[in-house]
Amino acid sequence: MPQLHRFDNDSKIGDISEEQLRFLNHHLANDEDTEFYVDYTILKGLAANGADPKLIGMLENSLGHHSWMKFTWSTSGTHTPWIHVVPAKPDRSGGRA
């Protein structure tokens, strides 16, 4: 079963059906890409094009107060983010590493 994950922090958005994944790929992806971008305008467009209301609600809940969100999907149950954010050490003065 496919799972959606936020791209920025890898938090799980939720499980979706194969049909919902096909819908997302059809409306949001280029060449079966595994990364999607949404904002509230895009969510309204998806809903107008017949998206499952549960899928829209799941994405809207994950989007929360943010103006946009990038997310991805996997079928393995886990997703490894491409970028890991590491906080700066308090004693580091900045500059290039």
The answer to whether the CB of 33 falls within 8 A of the CB of 2 is no
Q: Give mean pLDDT in consecutive 10-residue pieces for the chain, a chain of 97 residues.
A: 89 94 88 82 96 96 93 73 49 49
Residue at 34 is within a domain:
yes
Q: What is the domain count for the chain? A: 1
pLDDT number for residue 17 = 95
Residue at 95 is within a domain:
no
pLDDT number for residue 53 = 97
pLDDT number for residue 85 = 47
Closest CA to 47 of 23, 31, 65, 70: 23
pTM over 0.85: no
Domain housing 44: 3-74
Residue at 93 is within a domain:
no
Whole-angstrom distance, CA of residue 69 vs CA of residue 39: 6
**Type of residue at 64:** G
pLDDT number for residue 29 = 80
The answer to whether the CB of 90 falls within 8 A of the CB of 16 is no
Residue at 43 is within a domain:
yes
Residue at 94 is within a domain:
no
Residue at 40 is within a domain:
yes
Residue at 97 is within a domain:
no
Residue at 35 is within a domain:
yes
Closest CA to 59 of 85, 24, 8: 24
